[in-house]
Amino acid sequence: MVNIGVIGYGYWGPNLVRNFSAVDNASVRMIADMRKDRLNAVTKLYPTVTTTENPDDVINSKDIDAVVIALPVSAHYEAAKKALEAGKHVLVEKPLTDSSEKAQELIRIAKEKKLILMVDHTFLYTGAVKKMKSLMESGEIGEIQYFDSVRINLGLFQHDVNAIWDLAPHDISIMAQLIDKEPHSVVATGISHTGNGIENLAYLTINFTGNVLAHFNVSWTSPVKIRKILVGGTKKMIVFDDLEPTEKIRVYDTGYKLISQEEENRIRVDYRTGDVYIPKLDGQEALKGVAMDFIDSINTGNEPLSSAKLGLSVVKILEAAQESIKNRGREVLVK
Amino acid sequence: MVNIGVIGYGYWGPNLVRNFSAVDNASVRMIADMRKDRLNAVTKLYPTVTTTENPDDVINSKDIDAVVIALPVSAHYEAAKKALEAGKHVLVEKPLTDSSEKAQELIRIAKEKKLILMVDHTFLYTGAVKKMKSLMESGEIGEIQYFDSVRINLGLFQHDVNAIWDLAPHDISIMAQLIDKEPHSVVATGISHTGNGIENLAYLTINFTGNVLAHFNVSWTSPVKIRKILVGGTKKMIVFDDLEPTEKIRVYDTGYKLISQEEENRIRVDYRTGDVYIPKLDGQEALKGVAMDFIDSINTGNEPLSSAKLGLSVVKILEAAQESIKNRGREVLVK
Amino acid sequence: MVNIGVIGYGYWGPNLVRNFSAVDNASVRMIADMRKDRLNAVTKLYPTVTTTENPDDVINSKDIDAVVIALPVSAHYEAAKKALEAGKHVLVEKPLTDSSEKAQELIRIAKEKKLILMVDHTFLYTGAVKKMKSLMESGEIGEIQYFDSVRINLGLFQHDVNAIWDLAPHDISIMAQLIDKEPHSVVATGISHTGNGIENLAYLTINFTGNVLAHFNVSWTSPVKIRKILVGGTKKMIVFDDLEPTEKIRVYDTGYKLISQEEENRIRVDYRTGDVYIPKLDGQEALKGVAMDFIDSINTGNEPLSSAKLGLSVVKILEAAQESIKNRGREVLVK
Amino acid sequence: MVNIGVIGYGYWGPNLVRNFSAVDNASVRMIADMRKDRLNAVTKLYPTVTTTENPDDVINSKDIDAVVIALPVSAHYEAAKKALEAGKHVLVEKPLTDSSEKAQELIRIAKEKKLILMVDHTFLYTGAVKKMKSLMESGEIGEIQYFDSVRINLGLFQHDVNAIWDLAPHDISIMAQLIDKEPHSVVATGISHTGNGIENLAYLTINFTGNVLAHFNVSWTSPVKIRKILVGGTKKMIVFDDLEPTEKIRVYDTGYKLISQEEENRIRVDYRTGDVYIPKLDGQEALKGVAMDFIDSINTGNEPLSSAKLGLSVVKILEAAQESIKNRGREVLVK
């Protein structure tokens, strides 16, 4: 039995607690939050769970094996570091930290202490992303050529991070499941309409080695909600529309072939459109998968799917995007 | 009566001829194309129209007052120059030319000779764009904050120009109707999967003075067809979905308000979602509007809506985009 | 403070309890269900609520002012009768009873005892139906001409009632809000694919006096889920699509006018299509409105919106439909 | 070479002429219409075709082998009869005639004279219907259980026939391709809002022997256009949405299974939802298929797919529907 302490019971915390409560080998024992009203809500729903206003109580408790951190991004590093140093396994909300340096330090500590450090990139555990990954691995899609994501909506404006840091981690983590290549560089543009320099609307291009490109469109200021990803392969293409209630993934037997290249720039292209296939998806709540993977990793010592390494690679891209956007689209290498 | 000669009877030519034939004060008298089979098709449909394989016959004919040029982009400049120098009014397919220098020269000649030079930015004459323009001018939308366009599809790969030159002129000309500001700079990224350096997939950001941004997503390699534009105003927002059969324009009474900015980067935002309104649109074929505007401009000497000046500003953006994309996203000023 | 007892804690019961718990002047005090596991779930969530396996404990409790009945249709009458006779106000799930005779008896008892008898036609309390009703009452739609409803899905097959009794009460209650006329007769057809004479797929036409017609398409065996109602008025038309997340109601400024009727059967019709308007809807959970209306009615003695009278009129239509369907579409008068 | 004469050049006539002109072994030689302006339009487009205001000129011409009749329904019988008696093969617009008696007489004459008599049920030649038919014949769908069609729109009101005669022939002919059973009886309801007794809105149920049911919803007075057919099979289900530009057919691996029937009316049902498959469809214009089938049948003597026999069975259903609707839903046997 893994005893869990949770730090932060705001927007996402209750979902984490509910899902960890439903996992067999886990038990939520302690929850910390600065707000009394939230702790009262905990007590009403989970009378046996200990509550505290002091996160250190969780971190220092001898009853706790693993700490789940659901705080604002800027607080991730300090809480995770303390918890790791206190010998606890750690699951952090996405993105892992607000800088790659901090992420690397956390990874180093976890490695030294032989502890699991995991990031909650929830989307990786959805039926849709698992299906896309397996389609890709089966070879049915062919070599990936592009990845195009739109995640726009009205609200919620963040105070500390821009729309890229807030929204793109979802799509970047999905991309990382499908593109088995290293990101080379990024170009980002965007705009802030709130006068505080925090972009509410932004665009990000990631260049990969080997003629692959990814693009992300994120916004807090769209009148309509769109959550759509296109994946172009050499054999087939995928459309993932997360707003479809059940038919989220469509596989298009669509493509084109270069017939001949007679002279420079003179190409004949043969288009092909065929059947479309909408696979049935695993319907398990994704966050349950996150909780189970964390507990399994603790018990087996194996790396979770949503590893700290993946979390670091996401942070590196966000960091480069930040630099590019502040330099009006300058290409920034992803180191 | 304005006598019209048409040069080029390929994909778009037949539509131009059909629409000019339906305009009261115009008469299509001559059509040139290099392909015999196309000229035969002309003769079958329009037995009284003269056909020729030599464009110069059209340009030099005394019977012809105005020349309509529906050739590949690279041939626009030479044909238009000859026609203007021969004293003919000219309507050219979009984009006006393949360089801003050439566009400027054509404009200069037209001005000297007091001739109409017009570009066929057909979209400006659609009910949808006219409605968006009048909504903007009425003040109902408020100040524009962003313009976001997606125009993706499978095919048709072009040999001589990339997806930006091929597809974005539509959206840039629409943008120019709505944003009454000068474009300052562009950042463009893209990729070619055909090995000839011609991007089949590209992204373009345009920065305006005064905190306005526009973005364009164009592709010949999408499994699905999307033609959607979002326009964000300070009062309302518009979604233009050109694939909707009739309900193309939606006006969202949606927005947000900065309530307070307590300290640096600390903002409270109040969201508002209200009614949606789908205005009825003028259903006239847009190309008929192009034809009528061209004839009217010839008769009155007034500048057409889709003026050469507009055509030049589109070409300047395309040119800057080309430079940026070849320099991996470097910001390029629009001069 | 109205003290509430709930009988039946299966599919809908938990929603009722949650909503009554959130109403100011109400307190859920007792819950009865035959299944122990369900009562345990109650205790976990609401430790202060008394549970019992015997519904009579609720009905006979002196602490209870009002009883909420969430049992299968066939059990409504007996439980409601007992509760009324014990002097309790009663809220019953839809449909009120399985026969109009029983419904009339319950109404008679409630009247005698001066108790509130209400039916949970939840849809009447949705933002969408309230908006349609106010549009109708404002005169904006004109005289109603037809009502056309589709409510189809895969599952859940019922054991005791057919798809009309199971699904149509929703739509019939909505219709009754909009059509201020008496139903004259019904014609129903349907089919059972389960060999037990219980139709899984059925169609119902309701004829009204005064040239108005309503039609209902219900099914448990559709591969796709559709929940759509068309309302045709002499001035405008409404489409209510309950699967739209927010844009559920569309008002079409659409219609036609008879221009002349030159000779018998010789009509010229002038069509009109205009703007479409998507009003913002009240987002309050409908069941909360049900709970509040029940408590208000108890406190004020006023008739609730979803009255027993309305419940009776729905049952009369269902009864007539049952007779028609078993007689292969014979017209059956609604008495 | 089959020489074709066309009678009627109104709404559908030009499409027929265009398609027959494109068929290899056919030549349109003569066109009759009462309106001069239409004949002028013919001459402009097809200078070599003879025009006449007198249909008898077509029927009696020695140059003509086959007559295509595109007149109002009430005129079909007389024109077709004359043409058959003059020894011409005949293609008539749908529905074949306005009574089954007349249809039977035409069939008798055609048989005697060994002439082809064909009805233009165009939908049978669409890629979508051909695909549904082949899916059904392959056994993939299983035994058909129901057929549910909606064909509603605003306009065009007809003067002589109601919405069932006008719209339902399309769907009934499609149904006849998929259901290999005899229709047993019909029940129809509807309403006229124009005061001339011609229903603008109607519903039709067809009962088949062997526990199969079909339903049709037709209207000229819907604010929205819907053209959707559901086909329920014992193995899979099909949705045909004719308004989808390309993805018209979806095959749902969806169903249910009766697990046990413990006691009377006590059934446990196991639901299954699986993949969805969108087959690519043949994109040939359907009317071209009609024209080719007519010419082939003339040349080979084989019965066309859209045979007079099929046309008669459609008329029988329409006739029964007419009787039922005028008797307020009385079940009428299809003889």
Pairwise CB contact (< 8 Å): B45 & D45: yes
Q: What is the pLDDT of residue C123?
A: 98
Number of domains in chain B: 2
Q: Which two tokens stand for residue B284?
A: 């006239």
- Say yes or no: C173 and C321 in one domain: yes
Query: Are the beta carbons of D12 and D70 closer than 8 angstroms?
Result: yes
- Say yes or no: A131 and A112 in one domain: no
Average pLDDT rounded to a whole number, residues A103-128: 98
Provide, as residue numbers in chain C, all residues whose Cβ is less than 8 Å from the Cβ of D146.
191, 193, 201, 221
> Which comes out higher in pLDDT, residue B120 or B264?
B120
Distance CA(D55)–CA(D69), nearest Å, equals 10
Distance CA(D314)–CA(D317), nearest Å, equals 5
Q: Is residue B196 part of a domain?
A: yes
**Residue B29: pLDDT band by 50, 70, 90 thresholds?**
very high
Q: What is the pLDDT of residue D261?
A: 60
H helix or E strand, kind and range, residue C85: helix C76-85
Pairwise CB contact (< 8 Å): C278 & B277: yes
Q: Is the pLDDT of residue A39 over 80?
A: yes
Arithmetic mean of pLDDT over chain C = 93
Average pLDDT rounded to a whole number, residues C219-226: 94
Pairwise CB contact (< 8 Å): D273 & A280: yes
- Say yes or no: C171 and C253 in one domain: yes
Q: Which residues contact residue A180 at a Cβ distance below 8 angstroms, ignoring those fewer than 6 apart?
A: none
Q: Is residue A310 part of a domain?
A: no
Which CATH number goes with the domain that contains B267? 3.30.360.10
Characterize the bridge pairing of strands A2-7 and A66-69: parallel
Chain D closest CA to C265's CA: distance in Å?
Answer: 5
Q: Residues of chain A with pLDDT > 70: what percent? A: 97
**Residue B262: pLDDT band by 50, 70, 90 thresholds?**
low
Q: Which two tokens stand for residue B331?
A: 């910001």
Closest residue, chain D, to B247 (C-alpha): D224
Distance CA(B223)–CA(A228), nearest Å, equals 13
**Residue C274: pLDDT band by 50, 70, 90 thresholds?**
confident
pLDDT digits (tens, 9 = 90+) for C142-180: 999 999 999 999 977 888 889 999 999 999 999 999 999
Average pLDDT rounded to a whole number, residues A280-285: 92
Pairwise CB contact (< 8 Å): A254 & B230: no
Q: Is the pLDDT of residue A258 over 90?
A: no
pLDDT digits (tens, 9 = 90+) for D252-307: 998 888 776 655 555 677 777 889 999 999 989 999 999 999 999 999 999 999 99
SS (H, E, C) chain C: CEEEEEECCCCCHHHHHHHHHCCCCEEEEEEECCCHHHHHHHHHHCCCCEEECCHHHHHHCCCCCEEEECCCHHHHHHHHHHHHHCCCEEEEECCCCCCHHHHHHHHHHHHHHCCCEEEECHHHHCHHHHHHHHHHHCCCCCCEEEEEEEEEEECCCCCCCCHHHHHHHHHHHHHHHHCCCCEEEEEEEEECCCCCCCCCEEEEEEEECCCEEEEEEEECEEEEEEEEEEEEECCCEEEEECCCCCCCEEEEEEEEEEEEECCCCCEEEEEEEEEEEECCCCCCCHHHHHHHHHHHHHHHCCCCCCEHHHHHHHHHHHHHHHHHHHCCCCCEECC
- Say yes or no: B155 and B62 in one domain: no
Q: What is the pLDDT of residue B89?
A: 98
- Say yes or no: C43 and C146 in one domain: no
**Residue C335: pLDDT band by 50, 70, 90 thresholds?**
confident
Distance CA(B322)–CA(B326), nearest Å, equals 6
Provide, as residue numbers in chain B, all residues whose Cβ is less than 8 Å from the Cβ of C131.
none
Q: Is the pLDDT of residue A188 over 80?
A: yes
Q: Is residue A293 part of a domain?
A: no
Longest dimension (CA), chain B: 76
Q: Is residue C133 part of a domain?
A: yes
DSSP A184-237: EEEEEEEE-SSSSS--SEEEEEEEETTTEEEEEEEESEEEEEEEEEEEEESS-E
Provide, as residue numbers in chain A, all residues whose Cβ is less than 8 Å from the Cβ of B161.
none
Q: What is the pLDDT of residue D49?
A: 92
CB pairs under 8 A between A and B: 165
Distance CA(C130)–CA(C177), nearest Å, equals 9
Pairwise CB contact (< 8 Å): A254 & B330: no
Average pLDDT rounded to a whole number, residues D175-179: 96
- Say yes or no: D180 and D323 in one domain: yes
Task: Tally Cβ neighbours within 10 Å of residue D30.
Answer: 21
Residues on D contacting B at a C-beta cutoff of 8 Å: 45, 47, 245
Q: Which two tokens stand for residue A180?
A: 């088995």
> Which comes out higher in pLDDT, residue C287 or A156?
C287
Lowest mean pLDDT, pick from A170-179, A258-267, D166-175: A258-267
Of A103, A120, A137, the one marking the end of a domain is A120
- Say yes or no: B79 and B131 in one domain: no
Chain A closest CA to D237's CA: distance in Å?
Answer: 14
Pairwise CB contact (< 8 Å): C196 & D252: no
Distance CA(D92)–CA(D294), nearest Å, equals 11
- Say yes or no: B240 and B276 in one domain: yes
- Strand residue runs (E) in B130-220: 144-154, 183-191, 201-208, 212-219
Q: Is residue B213 part of a domain?
A: yes
User: How far are the Cα atoms of D168, D190, D208, D251, D274 from residue D175, in angstroms, in the given order?
Assistant: 10, 21, 12, 17, 25
- Say yes or no: D6 and D25 in one domain: yes
Arithmetic mean of pLDDT over chain A = 93
Closest residue, chain C, to B280 (C-alpha): C275
Provide, as residue numbers in chain B, all residues whose Cβ is less than 8 Å from the Cβ of C280.
253, 273-275
**Residue B260: pLDDT band by 50, 70, 90 thresholds?**
low
What is the predicted ipTM? Answer: 0.93
Pairwise CB contact (< 8 Å): B47 & D47: yes
Distance CA(C321)–CA(B24), nearest Å, equals 61
Residues on A contacting D at a C-beta cutoff of 8 Å: 246-247, 250, 253, 273-280
Q: What is the pLDDT of residue D144?
A: 96
Which CATH number goes with the domain that contains B20? 3.40.50.720
Out of B213, B264, B328, name the one closest to residue A191 (CB): B213
pLDDT digits (tens, 9 = 90+) for C69-114: 999 999 999 999 999 999 999 999 999 999 999 999 999 999 999 9
pLDDT digits (tens, 9 = 90+) for A302-326: 999 999 999 999 999 999 999 999 9
- Say yes or no: B140 and B242 in one domain: yes
Angle (CA) A314 A315 A316, round 5° = 90
> Which comes out higher in pLDDT, residue B304 or C156?
B304
Query: Are the beta carbons of A235 and A141 closer than 8 angstroms?
Result: yes
Give the three-class secondary structure for D281: coil
Q: Is residue D308 part of a domain?
A: no
Closest residue, chain D, to B47 (C-alpha): D44
Residue owning tokens 């705080």: A71
Query: Are the beta carbons of D69 and D91 closer than 8 angstroms?
Result: yes
Helices C100-113, C76-85: inter-axial angle, 10-degree rounding: 10
**Closest alpha carbon to B330 in B189, B191, B148:** B189
Give the three-class secondary structure for A2: strand
Q: DSSP secondary-structure letter at C307?
A: B
Residues on C contacting B at a C-beta cutoff of 8 Å: 246-247, 250, 253, 273-280
Q: Is the pLDDT of residue B133 over 80?
A: yes
Average pLDDT rounded to a whole number, residues A99-104: 97
Of A69, A85, A120, the one marking the end of a domain is A120
Q: Is the pLDDT of residue A196 over 90?
A: no
Q: What is the pLDDT of residue D46?
A: 84
Q: Is residue A194 part of a domain?
A: yes
- Say yes or no: B155 and B248 in one domain: yes
Q: Is the pLDDT of residue B265 over 70?
A: no
Pairwise CB contact (< 8 Å): A331 & B331: no
Pairwise CB contact (< 8 Å): C247 & B278: no
Average pLDDT rounded to a whole number, residues A92-103: 97
- Domain residues for B15? 2-120+286-306
Chains interfacing with C (3 or more CB pairs < 8 Å): B, D
Query: Are the beta carbons of D149 and D228 closer than 8 angstroms?
Result: yes
Provide, as residue numbers in chain D, all residues whose Cβ is less than 8 Å from the Cβ of A279.
275
Q: What is the pLDDT of residue D267?
A: 63
**Residue B263: pLDDT band by 50, 70, 90 thresholds?**
low
Provide, as residue numbers in chain B, all residues whose Cβ is less than 8 Å from the Cβ of A249.
none
DSSP A92-103: EESSS-SSHHHH
Pairwise CB contact (< 8 Å): D277 & A275: yes
Provide, as residue numbers in chain B, all residues whose Cβ is less than 8 Å from the Cβ of A330.
329-331
Arithmetic mean of pLDDT over chain D = 93
Amino acid letter for position D164: I
Q: Which two tokens stand for residue B323?
A: 């430079």
Pairwise CB contact (< 8 Å): D252 & C224: yes
Closest residue, chain D, to A278 (C-alpha): D276
Pairwise CB contact (< 8 Å): B224 & A217: no
Provide, as residue numbers in chain A, all residues whose Cβ is less than 8 Å from the Cβ of D254.
none
Provide, as residue numbers in chain B, all residues whose Cβ is less than 8 Å from the Cβ of C276.
247, 277-278
Chains interfacing with D (3 or more CB pairs < 8 Å): A, B, C
* Rg (chain B; Cα; Å): 21
Lowest mean pLDDT, pick from B189-193, C193-197, D318-322: C193-197
Q: What is the pLDDT of residue A266?
A: 58
Q: Which residues contact residue D35 at a Cβ distance below 8 angstroms, ignoring those fewer than 6 apart?
A: D9
Q: Is the pLDDT of residue B26 over 60?
A: yes
- Say yes or no: B272 and B145 in one domain: yes
> Which comes out higher in pLDDT, residue D48 or B44?
D48
Characterize the bridge pairing of strands A249-261 and A267-278: antiparallel
Chain B closest CA to A265's CA: distance in Å?
Answer: 5
Q: Is residue C306 part of a domain?
A: no
Distance CA(D35)–CA(D17), nearest Å, equals 17
Pairwise CB contact (< 8 Å): C254 & D154: yes
Chain C closest CA to D144's CA: distance in Å?
Answer: 11
Chains interfacing with A (3 or more CB pairs < 8 Å): B, D
Pairwise CB contact (< 8 Å): D146 & C201: yes
Which ranges of D86-126 does DSSP label H, i.e. alpha helix?
A: 100-112
pLDDT digits (tens, 9 = 90+) for B222-240: 999 999 999 999 999 999 9
